[in-house]
Structure 1
Amino acid sequence: MIELILDPFKYDFMIRSLITAFASGAMLSILGPFAINRNMGFMADAMAHATLPIIAVGVFLGFSISELGVPAAILIAIFLGIIIKNTNVGEDTAIGIIFSSFFALGFVLISLLNVTINLEDLLFGQILAVSTSDVYIVVSLLTIVFLIVIVYFKQLLFYSFDPIGAEVKGLNTTFLNYLFLILLSIAIVGSLQTVGIILVLSMLIIPAAAAKLVTDTFVTSIKVSVLFGVVSSITGLYLSYFLNLPSGPSMSLVATTIFVLAFLSNKIRKKGSLATVTIS
């Protein structure tokens, strides 16, 4: 058993991949509970798809996906925030328009600029190809996200549960909204090489949803979400290594398995509580 666990550490590319998987899993799942609480799943998906034209232009100019992380994240977050705030068509409609149009624009730019991008890797991730500089960038992004969440935790928590109340209390809700959008974009862009555009939403939402089913407080749900996210990423990578499976989908399926187990555990716990109440 120990030999199986240590076997991937024989290879430098697997060590880089494991560190990146850990960082990406933790980074997404820290923000997942906030995203679920604010019903931002569709928004996060739109952010992931909106990265495609920026990636196309960046690769054309000679940058890697990881190097584009922070600038792309800030541009996407600010643009989405402005569009949603200043349109009268409804938030979901605006997000849907951005989602489809930016994704289409990305493919058009890839064709026009004759950019060499492996679309399968971009859509579903290719963590085994991460470089040493990619590892440093993703770990740095995790550190940034973690520190900002700690510093602004109370404000983000208040705004997440009661945006109107937060505004009444004098909090700068516009700043908090854009801050969270930027953090979310950073986490998404920083994780694209791990799980890809299509599956990044699953690693943001599923661990957080599973944690919500088995915890009673928001703070605990964040801790458990991070645990589930990291376990999903690392286990998925191990499955990919030993069974020759695609890494991104493997991570997503492990996260889904954890969610199913959490769902069943929640049902059993509720039945047990109901039986106790009935007997008493």
Structure 2
Amino acid sequence: MTVIDLLTQPLTYDFMVRALVTVLVASVVCAVLSCWLVLVGWSLMGDAVSHSVLPGVVLAYVVGAPFAAGAVVFGVVAVVLIGFVRDTSRVKEDAAIGIVFTSLFALGLVLVSVTPSQTDLNHIVFGNLLGVSRADLVQVAALGAVVLTLLLLKRRDLTLYAFDPTHAHAIGLHPRRTGALLLGLLALTAVVALQAVGVVLVVALLVIPGATAYLLTDRFARMLVIAPVMAAACGVVGLYASYYADTASGPTIVLAQGVVFALVHLFGPRRGVVTTRVLRRRATHPRHGQGAVTRNAVATTPPSGSSIP
């Protein structure tokens, strides 16, 4: 079998084509958003919101409403509850986040277990990439387009909010509104990624691409390019690998992103652990030839005040 056959054979199935489009949309949208989450330091908040939307998605299914509506409502509920617990008790923010998102996630699991349905709602938790229907694909594409458009239109405000909220407030921006916008987009993005990897692994798509790009560049504009390209490539590789290895698609895609992050962390051109140690060792221990030339030059240099006959 040739390389072309390996690439084209899975695409002869409609479900693989839909899965590939879903992966590309979810990977790109999550990766772009992850750049701001990493800069703001909201990785744990991304985990909280992505898990907290589960009961909203289930309730939306029960009443026949769009999944996005339920996700946004419970995303806002989660943020409000986190702030309430943090401000009215001695519990710190990280503990408040853990309490709220685990409680809401557990509520979602209970609702999944008791909700009568002709379809298996467990795919919301663990993902069902190969079972994406045309309707699901349309919803993913529409929500992805909305999120990506808002991120690009508001990129300057979001970037200023991430780097310096005080300065953003001084020039007339409203940090709370900007933060609320980011949280709302986070909830919508969680719905986009649900079809690909499920609630459990959404946080990986929301953190790993931005963290990987952050290790490769100091410029935010480059992060916005590196992160989605890397995420899309890992999505395609992970999907093909799951097809030929007969493994779960969502976890394989996340595993591919994890491998790329590990490689960048170890062998990155500027900040890789191994690369940094090698460069440091070269700086402190020059090559044998260079050292010999230096010693010979020192040995043949006449002492001060003397002349060479």
Same fold (TM over 0.5): yes
Matches within 5 A, 1:66-215: 67-69=66-68, 71-87=69-85, 88=87, 89-115=91-117, 118=120, 120-215=122-217
Partner of 1:270: 276
- Distance, in Å, in 2 between the alignment partners of 1:211 and 1:35 is 12
Q: Number of residue pairs matched?
A: 276
Matches within 5 A, 1:21-100: 21-62=23-64, 67-69=66-68, 71-87=69-85, 88=87, 89-100=91-102
**Bigger-Rg structure (1/2):** 2
- Distance, in Å, in 2 between the alignment partners of 1:111 and 1:250 is 26
Contact 2:52 2:75 in 1 (8 A): no
Matches within 5 A, 1:208-247: 208-247=210-249
Percentage identity across aligned positions?
Answer: 32
Partner of 2:262: 260
- Distance, in Å, in 2 between the alignment partners of 1:56 and 1:162 is 37
2:124 aligned partner, one-letter code: L
**Change in 2 beyond 3 A, CA 1:77/1:52:** closer
- Distance, in Å, in 2 between the alignment partners of 1:271 and 1:85 is 43
1:68 aligned partner, one-letter code: F
More contact order relative to length (CA 8 Å, sep ≥ 6):
1
RMSD: 2.1
**Change in 2 beyond 3 A, CA 1:149/1:276:** farther
1:43 aligned partner, one-letter code: M
* Aligned equivalent of 1:3, options 5, 15, 21: 5
- Distance, in Å, in 2 between the alignment partners of 1:222 and 1:273 is 28
Contact 1:29 1:226 in 2 (8 A): yes
**Change in 2 beyond 3 A, CA 1:76/1:219:** farther
Flag structure 2 segments of 5+ consecutive residues without an equivalent.
Answer: 287-309
* Distance apart, 1:264 and its partner CA: 1.9
- Distance, in Å, in 2 between the alignment partners of 1:98 and 1:84 is 6
Flag structure 1 segments of 5+ consecutive residues without an equivalent.
Answer: none
TM-score (norm 1): 0.90
- Distance, in Å, in 1 between the alignment partners of 2:247 and 2:115 is 32
* Distance apart, 1:118 and its partner CA: 3.4
Shift >4 Å, 4+ stretches: 271-279
* Deviations 1:176-208 (CA, angstroms, capped at 9, x unpaired): 011000111111111111001111111111121
* Deviations 1:12-49 (CA, angstroms, capped at 9, x unpaired): 11111100000000010001111111121111111122
